[in-house]
């Protein structure tokens, strides 16, 4: 009787984990590692800043959409948990992990400074800072940026990079698109922003701004990864396996085709 009861209890526990599955997933894809306290409620609460196309933006339905959102949904399906996305300021993402959110996906570059507060998944994308300038600008080298008025999104690697440019005035914005608007309006000499969003912004203002490759400015390659609560190794392991699976089974390439135009 006792044995039957504990079997029944095990059945109930398994069932409660499985109800967390998103639509379309099945029992065999549920691989919840119960050692991860982050996943124990069957919900992955994900912070993002939906101001970074094509990785994240607010879709026509008012909800965050984009490559990263699709990727984290695929990861969660793989883990057999539900996703709840919280849209917030980029600058708040790291400090929200462990309180308001479980993890963050936001085209976030792995940096040593961030590693002091959070862990990172295996990287899923490589990028670089680009320089957006007015179409008639003479800026083309790193030295040309010295002493100029430069715009960026607050708390981003572009922001950190401007801090090191001699004599530059750093204009920080909550949204990169606001910096781009000020560039078009003649209030900035350049905007420093990641390669893919730079391409999107440049095509939105075709003929008005130029998208200059950061390679010509000596900028370094950056790796995007999912930011994770520090020390939850079971979660990191589970998410890394999910990313590897998604890369191997073709899902990742499908998302690249769908979102990176």
Nearer to ligand ARG, 26 or 204 (CB): 204
CB of 93 to ligand ARG, least distance (A): 8
Environment class of residue 200 by beta-carbon count within 10 Å: exposed (0-12), middle (13-18) or buried (19+)? buried
CB of 54 to ligand ARG, least distance (A): 11
End-to-end C-alpha distance for the chain, whole angstroms: 61
Q: Is 51 near ligand ARG (CB under 6 A)? A: yes
CB of 30 to ligand ARG, least distance (A): 29
DSSP state of 111: -
CA–CA separation, 48 and 105 (whole Å):
6
x-marked contacts with ligand ARG along 5-44 as a string, rule CB under 6 A: ----------------------------------------
CB of 171 to ligand ARG, least distance (A): 16
CB of 244 to ligand ARG, least distance (A): 22
The binder of ligand ARG chosen from 109, 171, 195, 196 (CB under 6 A): 109
The binder of ligand ARG chosen from 56, 82, 189, 211 (CB under 6 A): 56
x-marked contacts with ligand ARG along 133-162 as a string, rule CB under 6 A: --------------------x--xx-----
Helix (H) or strand (E) holding 255: helix 251-259
Q: What φ, ψ does residue 127 adopt, rounded to 5°? A: -150, -175
What's CA 16's distance to the chain center, in Å? Answer: 30
Q: Is 219 near ligand ARG (CB under 6 A)? A: no
Q: Is 195 near ligand ARG (CB under 6 A)? A: no
Q: 121 vs 71, 87, 235, CA distance in Å?
A: 13, 20, 9
Contact status, residue 179 vs residue 151, Cβ threshold 8 Å: yes
CB of 124 to ligand ARG, least distance (A): 12
Q: Which two tokens stand for residue 108?
A: 């976030």
Contact status, residue 133 vs residue 145, Cβ threshold 8 Å: no
Q: Is 45 near ligand ARG (CB under 6 A)? A: no
Contact status, residue 91 vs residue 154, Cβ threshold 8 Å: yes
Nearer to ligand ARG, 38 or 109 (CB): 109
CA–CA separation, 198 and 32 (whole Å):
37
Nearer to ligand ARG, 49 or 171 (CB): 49
Size of interface with ligand ARG, in residues (CB under 6 A): 14
Q: Is 90 near ligand ARG (CB under 6 A)? A: yes
Q: Which two tokens stand for residue 180?
A: 């781009």
Instruction: Reduce the DSSP state of residue 211 to 3 states and report it.
Output: strand
Binding residues (CB under 6 A) for ligand ARG: these are: 49, 51-52, 56, 90, 106-109, 153, 156-157, 194, 222
């Amino acid at each position: 009787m006792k044995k039957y009861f504990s079997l029944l209890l095990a059945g109930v526990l398994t069932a409660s984990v499985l109800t967390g599955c998103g639509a379309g997933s099945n029992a065999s894809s549920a691989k919840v590692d119960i050692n991860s306290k982050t996943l124990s409620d069957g919900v992955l609460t994900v912070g993002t800043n939906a101001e970074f196309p094509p990785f994240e933006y607010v879709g026509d339905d008012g909800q965050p959409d984009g490559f990263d959102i699709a990727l984290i949904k695929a990861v969660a399906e793989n883990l057999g948990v539900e996703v709840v996305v919280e849209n917030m300021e980029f600058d708040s993402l790291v400090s929200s992990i462990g309180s308001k959110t479980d993890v963050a996906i936001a085209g976030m570059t792995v940096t040593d400074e961030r590693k002091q507060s959070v862990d990172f998944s295996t990287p899923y994308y490589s990028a670089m800072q680009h320089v957006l300038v007015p179409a008639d600008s003479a800026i083309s080298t790193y030295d040309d940026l010295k002493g100029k008025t430069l715009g960026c999104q607050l708390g981003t690697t572009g922001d950190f990079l401007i801090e090191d440019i001699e004599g530059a005035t750093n204009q920080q914005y909550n949204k990169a698109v606001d910096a781009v608007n000020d560039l078009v309006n003649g209030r900035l000499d350049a905007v420093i922003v990641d390669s893919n969003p730079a391409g999107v912004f440049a095509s939105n203002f075709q003929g008005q701004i130029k998208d200059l490759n950061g390679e010509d400015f000596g900028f370094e390659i950056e790796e995007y990864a999912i930011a994770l609560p520090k020390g939850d190794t079971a979660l990191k392991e589970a998410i890394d396996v999910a990313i590897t699976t998604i890369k191997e089974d073709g899902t990742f390439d499908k998302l690249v085709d769908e979102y990176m135009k």
